[in-house]
Amino acid sequence: MAGAPLPIRDGLGPDRIRMPAGVEANTIAEFLVQAHPAESEHWLSLVDGGGIVDEHGRVVDLETRYAPTRFVYFYRDPPPEIRVPFDIEILHRDDRLLVIDKPHFLATIPRGAHITETAVVRLRRALDLPDLTPAHRLDRMTAGVLMFLIRREDRRAYQDLFVSQQVAKDYEAIAAYDPAIEFPRTVRSRIAKEHGVMTATEEPGEPNSETVIELIEARGAQARYRLRPKTGRTHQLRLHMSSMGLPILGDNYYPNFRRSEPGDFSTPLRLLARAIEFIDPHTREARRFESRRTLRW
């Protein structure tokens, strides 16, 4: 968490709670007990043990006054998670960059039910790199090239490359095959994603997403494709393939959402971030990193 007054601990940053205005509480401890009555003993113990700090890193005690609109920070112990039974392969490491070959089913960053079983937490712990931060993200179900930044001072320069679309990305997918559809082709659409809803949708309006799709090879009713996204909308590649009637193998989101069982790693999404390529903002050299993984037909 950028700007947090507590450091990364065991691969995880601190949580925070905002103290809203209009709450009748004299102290921060009183507010926490009011907001979480079922966990009142936990919060009082945390405060009593010096486990909560304010935005400036000052320890909150039982007498610390309530501060509307401000934040308090603390560490939360995550619940046990089912281990993703696949290893991370390191493709490249230097003073600034760490590039990995991410396996399927492993999220990039902590979110929702996936906290410790994420690429960033695993790597921070294994390599003792507490400031490690992803330069971009891959969906949990997508495997392949994922780049991290080792030092805080390098974050903006590299992350801006992805934001400004100065990184060329190549993906591969195995999906259904229709000989009547001609390739290469460019798919453009307007993609909308509502917060809290699992799937994205395509809707009428000015396109905000674009993907160039090429056919690499066909094998009966299936084919392998090269996907080159020009934009980075949520689930863009999965939606664009599904919109042509060629859903990616193993996709339980499109065209129809199917809930998967926790701990079921038997059916990966056949989508691979094959390579990324860019001009390094520090050395001005061309950089290319390529996955060593292959997709199963």
**pTM flag (> 0.75):** yes
pLDDT tens for residues 179-207? 999 999 999 999 999 988 889 999 999 99
pLDDT tens for residues 120-139? 999 999 999 999 999 999 99
Give all domains of the chain, ordered by start, each with its CATH number. Answer: 15-74 (no CATH), 89-290 (3.30.2350.10)
Alpha carbons 151 and 76: distance in angstroms, whole number: 25
